[in-house]
Amino acid sequence: ELAIARTAILDYFQSPAQNRLEKIFSWEESYEVRPGRSLIKFIRLVSTSLGIPVYEPHLMLVNKDPMFSRLMKNYPEFRSFRDIISWWKYLLNTDRTVFPNYSIDTKIHAPRDYSPLHMQLCFEWEEVDLFYIVRFSSFVLRCRPNSDPSIEIPTHRYPSTATPSFYAAAPAIQTEDDVIYKPNLPSFDDECGQVLNQRDSELLLSYLTVPYMRLPLLLSFFASEDRIHKLQSPSLRLILDSVLFEPGRYLPTNLTGVEPVMVPTPHSELLSTPYGLLLSELYRSPDTVIRSVLVLLKGAIACDTGSSHDEWSDKFNTTTMIILYVARLAARVDSYISFLINWASGNHDFIDWPLREVYLAEDTIEKLITGRSEIRQILHDQFALLFEHYLQRLDSETNRFISMEFMVQRNSSFSCILHAHKVILYRNYCDVDMTISVAKTLLGSFIYLTTRHTFNMCETNQVFLQIPDFELYELLQVQRRRLVRWMNNCRQGTLDAVMQTALLVSSSSTGGLKPTDSIFVDENRWSRIRGDRSCGRFAVGFSRPTATIISSATTLNENLENAVGVVEDSEELGVEIDLQMGLMTLQSKHISALDSVISNHSDVKMIFGEKVIQSSQYENSVNRNCFRLVGLNHEIHHWKTAHHACPPMADEWDRPYDPAELFDSEKWIIPLFEPARKKFFDGPIPSPMQFMMSALPAPADAEVFVLLGLHQQLGGPFKLVYLFRRLRCLHVYECVSHGREWWYSLHMATDYRFSLRELQPCVEKRKEQYPDWWIRGAGSPYPASVSSYLSSTVLQNCASSVLIIREQQHVENLSGGKELFIPAHLLFGVIPDALLETYNFWQDESSLSFSDHSQVSCAYKRLRGYPKAASDEFIIIVTFQYTGSWTGFRASEERVNCGKTIQATGFPGRTVRVVRRSKAHGRKEFELRLRLASALESCHTLCNSQVMKTDKVDLSVDVEFKVNSSAECDYEGNGEYWPCVVLRVNDNRTYDVEFVGIYKWVGVHRGVDPSLVQKRGATKRLPSENIIHWDGMSESDDEDLRENDYISSTNDDGKSSALRLSFAHFDHLHLLLEAADGDEQLCVECIKKISQNVNFKPFDSVEKLARVISEQLQEHTGSSNCIPDNSDMVLLNTLYAPKRSGLFSLLKVLVRIENAAHICAWTKATNLKANSQSELNFGCPNIDLVELPRLKLAFTARCD
């Protein structure tokens, strides 16, 4: 069809009616875009008809702002027409180097994304050389290759691979004599060695020198003398494809019927064809082509070795590559033969006009029909079964190595290739050729590809599938109408067989069917979906248990002959298959490959590697898309829009930084900070940054001081500057937004030695010596520039972010709940690079559901670092929490080791505790908690009083709200809750809230007690207050609404139902062990005893249960089954070391050989008081271990 369309278009433009017309926009006539005589004449005629004076008609096409061209003012569509023609002729340029996505290094086209605004064409006029400069984005549009005589002008954008000169050294090969006199001919070597000897190479290149005759010659060449094995060479396969399927030179209409009178003819254009060489051979002499294709098919089948690949290879073996190639070749030849047969019989879908020089005699048609039948028989009876055999072997291999990610991913890729070749075998089957097996293959294999393969991945994906993406979708376009017609005429049994097979194929790991899969055909009953817009959509009407099917086999056989049922279109449909789109959906959610924007994200690649990820999207909102990854126990949240809000500024930052107004105890800040501020943060580009300080003066002995920089455009906190008094350096952190959560990440330091991030000093040439304060400086003051939003990383300016969430069931998850992956760039400057390079950090749910609010403030977070290498013996536990409170804090307080301030700063602040724990101990502790959780769930010991149906959150416990969270507040204290938004979370656990909606007039209310704030919908409203109640609602409707909002927490017998333990409960199970003195068996027995009490009521918290267990076991002394955690090590912050401590001295010595980012000083957890954070805020504990991982050195402390 493409060959026919090509000729029809060229015939139209070369027709006499078109030749008489004058051509405008002839941009292809010169390298520069110049207006031709016809274009100027056209502009003058149109302008005259409008009464527009024309002094310089060529300027009517120029873009100006405001628009001055009266021609485009009166005809706005003229600009669109101008741009359409310009783009069309630009894309016809044969010079690949004029395109913006052309890479000089790789010589390939890499995909690039442009917005519609960037692709608008702008016409400018060059007064000197008199031509248009046409720009889009920053590129100049050219419609013709460069005419520079020193540059070879390309005649084709992608020259034919059947050109003999490509494979031999200069001079170019023009005739057979040139081949004979070549001293050396190519042997087309591949990874296995030489492919062709000199004799065969001479024959091959000689055939290529005669374009009109080379098609039958080359087919006979590979179909004789057992040369089928030569097709293992990719170059030879490309040559054969070019000879067969390239249309070749076009025969103009005025040369139709003209025959050459000399041999060889001096007029090479007479050897052209109107519709391509392959069609010309088939309607003139089809015997050679058909016979050669049949020989190739039989030879390829004989190459089968029983296995498609070597066990640990990531490629098909050479014989399988030959089989796949011959199958593709035969299927495409079938397309040409089927076209001629359908056209001759008048059965083609849309081409029904006479074709130039094409005449099919009766005997030719008979030969074509017979040849097509023989080709299809081999493809269907042998190749299709062989591909299915390969898929079954891949499925068995995948099941054997199900835990090996490489094997699963490789076999999935192999299966996609095989399924693509299966569907292409049936591209030309018409309604009369359609059978159950053909319909199963077309539907099942294509749906498998849509759920496993990532389409539209430029050239790399076409190499991967070996079939271009557009060819597969062209196949769907051709076959979908035939499939819909055939399926609409099927009875129930046939429909179930086809649909259930497609479901099994698409949901299996490789799409291979086993003999045992036949029983599933009887389980589901498929139905058509009602509606004019549901043509081709089918869904599962109902399912039957297998036992019922077997017991009623007679009735079942009768039902299989019934007409197909109809179901209503709704979101409640379980499984749906759309024949029009070739898609399968589960509960209205499509299963497809993860979007390339997300799968190519650096964090996704780090966790999942380079593989195709299947996902199901379950949320699509303005700012966020959420996906569940099939079979990986992960979710991905893609925040696709920028975050235009800075974090709220705390009240303690209320003193602007002014060097002239610093207290005496702060004078040391000036020489340390002023040079950097004036150099980087004093404008003019970007504008100067304002810095804020604490209202209280810094203590005289403070070693560290913190400044807050405000965003130049957003106005909120943007930079944190840490000044180190004794180390004589400063660190700059920038606020980044990761999934709408703010993090501060280190990006600049004036002394890279004393930085927990490994920063690279500048190595570029400089005109003058750096100042003393920047000799060891590294980093950039604005790594992500300054814009109207916060970047998601300090590594580059990026507005979007990707959150990776690991489910509780994941084998590596030791938290007991969901875990959020925290990229290393969010922890720059917080955790040494030595740990960031060897561990992946995941945040658990403790920041959301930690219930001991008396000990931990809202700033609490807990991360677990899992080793990247399986051989590592430790895991890292990182705890973020706030020390002290600014509420009621006085600068004159005596700062002793009381846990209210940090020694280095003298103020309250956020602290980080890093603990290293044995991985074996962490695993055993987790398994112990799992056993306790199982005992509690089986005994119904813990429960949640009331759970919302939507998110299953226990509303009976206190809820911590984040900034910008939606909530309700009892403003008047009378039990009436009004909707509000949390603006700030204060250190004393109170909230600043702003009322919204119809209560916006109340404004902002500060210092609200947490007991007066709750989740939206936590309290049942009166009808007059319900935000979704209206006056016309009946009492029964209101009751239904209340029943749908909540799930009752009681069973039919009135007892409270036991829900699965929440993370808050699971996280506190260690309290039960502590109450039982670490004896697991005793703890479980006590739990069972408590639950068997007649007056027993489930506990709503672990703490209450722990107190009861402790009271019952006061006189019992048990043997501990819990492994004592004596090996925990706590990381010491070398940068905060007191100036006269051993840790400070150690740092000063070690930075001579290693940077602080790769120095880890550890102390044993037993050196610190239990649960005492203040032990690390003041003083310096004993140093038990010092590690320098990059140098592979470790020092342990020993007593003399």
Using H for helix, E for strand and C for coil, what is the string for 264-286? CCCCHHHHCECCCHHHHHHHHCH
Q: State what percent of residues in the chain have pLDDT above 90.
A: 32
- CA 748 to CA 761: how far, in whole Å? 10
Instruction: Please state which of the ranges 286-290, 427-431, 516-520, 896-900 shows the lowest mean pLDDT.
Output: 516-520
What is the structure's pLDDT at 1194? 93
Is the C-alpha dihedral spanning 1158, 1163, 1168, 1171 positive or negative? positive
Backbone dihedral region of 1022: left (phi > 0), alpha (psi from -120 to 50 degrees) or beta? beta
Instruction: Please state which of the ranges 89-93, 266-270, 540-544 shows the lowest mean pLDDT.
Output: 540-544
What is the structure's pLDDT at 168? 83
- Number of Cβ within 10 Å of residue 526's Cβ equals 26
Residue 387: name the closest of 458, 441, 446, 331 by CA. 441
Using DSSP's 3-state secondary structure scheme, residue 919 falls into: helix
* Angle, helix 214-222 to helix 234-245, in steps of 10 degrees: 140
Give the C-alpha distances (Å, rounded to integers) separating 950 from 828, 847, 954, 1046: 37, 21, 11, 9
**Predicted confidence band at 854 (pLDDT cuts at 50, 70, 90)?**
very low
Whether the pLDDT of residue 876 is over 60: the answer is yes
Q: Name the phi and psi angles at 140, rounded to 5.
A: -100, 130
Element of type H or E holding 477: helix 469-488
Q: Is-cis flag, bond preceding 717, omega within 30? A: no
Record the pTM: 0.64
Using DSSP's 3-state secondary structure scheme, residue 513 falls into: coil
What is the structure's pLDDT at 866? 95
Give the C-alpha distances (Å, rounded to integers) separating 1086 from 643, 766, 1062: 51, 74, 21
Backbone dihedral region of 58: left (phi > 0), alpha (psi from -120 to 50 degrees) or beta? alpha
Residues whose CB is less than 8 angstroms from the CB of residue 1196 and which lie 6 or more positions away in sequence, other chains included:
1184, 1185, 1186
End-to-end CA distance of the chain: 90
What is the structure's pLDDT at 547? 37
What is the structure's pLDDT at 1036? 36
Mean predicted confidence (pLDDT) in 469-488: 89
Using DSSP's 3-state secondary structure scheme, residue 716 falls into: coil
How do strand 524-529 and strand 139-140 relate by DSSP bridges? unpaired
What is the structure's pLDDT at 1023? 32
What is the structure's pLDDT at 855? 35
- Number of Cβ within 10 Å of residue 500's Cβ equals 23
What is the structure's pLDDT at 1081? 87
Whether the pLDDT of residue 1049 is over 60: the answer is no
Mean predicted confidence (pLDDT) in 926-950: 72
Residues whose CB is less than 8 angstroms from the CB of residue 944 and which lie 6 or more positions away in sequence, other chains included:
954, 956, 1049, 1059, 1062, 1100
- CA 1041 to CA 1036: how far, in whole Å? 9
- CA 54 to CA 49: how far, in whole Å? 11
Query: Are the C-beta atoms of residues 874 and 917 closer than 8 Å to each other?
Result: yes
DSSP designation for 530: P
The CA-based angle 1171-1172-1175, given to 5 degrees, is 150
Strand order in the sheet with 653-656: 653-656, 691-694, 704-710, 717-724, 729-738, 741-749, 778-779
**Predicted confidence band at 848 (pLDDT cuts at 50, 70, 90)?**
low
Mean predicted confidence (pLDDT) in 766-771: 86
- CA 1151 to CA 1141: how far, in whole Å? 16
* Burial state string for 929-955 with b = 16 or more CB within 10 A and e = fewer than 16: beebbebbeebebbbbeebbeeeebbb
- CA 525 to CA 555: how far, in whole Å? 14
What is the structure's pLDDT at 1017? 67
Whether the pLDDT of residue 296 is over 60: the answer is yes
Residues whose CB is less than 8 angstroms from the CB of residue 184 and which lie 6 or more positions away in sequence, other chains included:
169
What is the structure's pLDDT at 69? 83
The CA-based angle 460-461-467, given to 5 degrees, is 120
| Most confident segment among 325-329, 996-1000, 1087-1091 | 325-329
Give the C-alpha distances (Å, rounded to integers) separating 513 from 392, 394, 396, 404, 442: 7, 11, 11, 22, 14
**Predicted confidence band at 193 (pLDDT cuts at 50, 70, 90)?**
confident
Element of type H or E holding 1062: none
DSSP designation for 536: T
As separate numbers, helices (DSSP H) first and strands (DSSP E) second, the chain gives 33, 36
What is the structure's pLDDT at 138? 79
DSSP designation for 120: -
Residue 959: name the closest of 1064, 1097, 844 by CA. 1064
**Predicted confidence band at 319 (pLDDT cuts at 50, 70, 90)?**
very high
Give the C-alpha distances (Å, rounded to integers) separating 283 from 241, 344, 351, 1112: 20, 10, 17, 97
- CA 454 to CA 594: how far, in whole Å? 8
- CA 1091 to CA 942: how far, in whole Å? 10
- Number of Cβ within 10 Å of residue 816's Cβ equals 21
Whether the pLDDT of residue 802 is over 90: the answer is yes
Instruction: Please state which of the ranges 92-101, 201-210, 326-335, 1146-1155 shows the lowest mean pLDDT.
Output: 92-101
Query: Are the C-beta atoms of residues 1013 and 993 closer than 8 Å to each other?
Result: yes
- Give me the residue label for tokens 């991967």: 464
**Predicted confidence band at 540 (pLDDT cuts at 50, 70, 90)?**
confident
Mean pLDDT taken over the chain: 82
DSSP designation for 167: G
Q: State what percent of residues in the chain have pLDDT above 70.
A: 84
| Most confident segment among 12-26, 459-473, 803-817, 1149-1163 | 1149-1163
**Predicted confidence band at 887 (pLDDT cuts at 50, 70, 90)?**
confident
What is the structure's pLDDT at 1028? 30
Using DSSP's 3-state secondary structure scheme, residue 75 falls into: coil
Instruction: Using CA atoms of 987, 988, 992, 993 in order, give the dihedral in degrees to the nearest 10.
Output: 120
- CA 1119 to CA 1079: how far, in whole Å? 6
- Give me the residue label for tokens 């087309």: 188
Q: Name the phi and psi angles at 668, rounded to 5.
A: -65, -15
How do strand 524-529 and strand 566-567 relate by DSSP bridges? parallel
Compute the residue count for the chain.
1200
Element of type H or E holding 1024: none
Residue 101: name the closest of 93, 113, 89 by CA. 113
What is the structure's pLDDT at 609? 79
- CA 1043 to CA 1040: how far, in whole Å? 5
Longest dimension (CA), the chain: 119
Q: Is-cis flag, bond preceding 867, omega within 30? A: no
Whether the pLDDT of residue 1182 is over 70: the answer is yes
- CA 561 to CA 555: how far, in whole Å? 11
Instruction: Please state which of the ranges 140-154, 232-246, 428-442, 1031-1045 shows the lowest mean pLDDT.
Output: 1031-1045
Mean predicted confidence (pLDDT) in 824-844: 95
- CA 524 to CA 540: how far, in whole Å? 6
Whether the pLDDT of residue 655 is over 90: the answer is yes
Whether the pLDDT of residue 1029 is over 70: the answer is no
What is the structure's pLDDT at 578? 87
- The residues pairing with 746 across neighbouring beta strands, listed in sequence order, are 733
Residues whose CB is less than 8 angstroms from the CB of residue 700 and which lie 6 or more positions away in sequence, other chains included:
665
- The residues pairing with 5 across neighbouring beta strands, listed in sequence order, are none
What is the structure's pLDDT at 1179? 63
Instruction: Using CA atoms of 1157, 1159, 1165, 1169 in order, give the dihedral in degrees to the nearest 10.
Output: -70
Whether the pLDDT of residue 105 is over 70: the answer is no
**Predicted confidence band at 341 (pLDDT cuts at 50, 70, 90)?**
very high
pLDDT tens-digit map of 17-75: 888 888 899 998 888 999 999 999 999 999 988 888 888 888 888 887 677 788 888 88
Give the C-alpha distances (Å, rounded to integers) separating 780 from 283, 675, 725, 823, 827: 70, 15, 22, 20, 17
The CA-based angle 234-423-226, given to 5 degrees, is 40
What residue type is assigned to position 630 of the chain?
A: V
Instruction: Please state which of the ranges 377-381, 695-699, 1009-1013, 1167-1171 shows the lowest mean pLDDT.
Output: 1167-1171
The CA-based angle 816-820-821, given to 5 degrees, is 125
